[in-house]
Amino acid sequence: MSDTFVPLTAATGSSVGGASFQMKVLPHAETKPVFTPLPGAGTGNAVSQPCGRPVLTLQRQGDVVSGIRVECGCGQVIELKCVY
């Protein structure tokens, strides 16, 4: 293998192993939204309501964080288990 960097370029007239490189430019595809909500997932109105500041609690085993508990101001709790 060569140590020299050779950038990939459009067809230069050379061929490798009998096959020549040809670049094909595709037409620009329609732009679609990056995120599409799942059907029946709700309208998201609950998220638009502001609530109090969340409270974060770390569970530790020695110097290692083994879990994270997030308690929202609205009362919703999310518990995350940390696996290393």
- Looking at the domain assignment, is residue 55 inside a domain? yes
Q: Count of domains in the chain?
A: 1
- Calpha distance 54→75 (Å, rounded): 9
pLDDT at 42: 60
- Looking at the domain assignment, is residue 78 inside a domain? yes
Domain, as residue range, for 71 = 51-84
pLDDT at 84: 81
Contact 52, 74 (CB under 8 A): yes
Of 82, 45, 53, nearest to 67 (Cα)?
82
pLDDT at 38: 74
pLDDT at 79: 93
pLDDT at 74: 87
Give rounded-to-5 percent helix, strand, coil for the chain: 5, 30, 65
**Which residue numbers in the chain have pLDDT < 70?**
1-3, 5-19, 21, 29, 31-34, 41-49
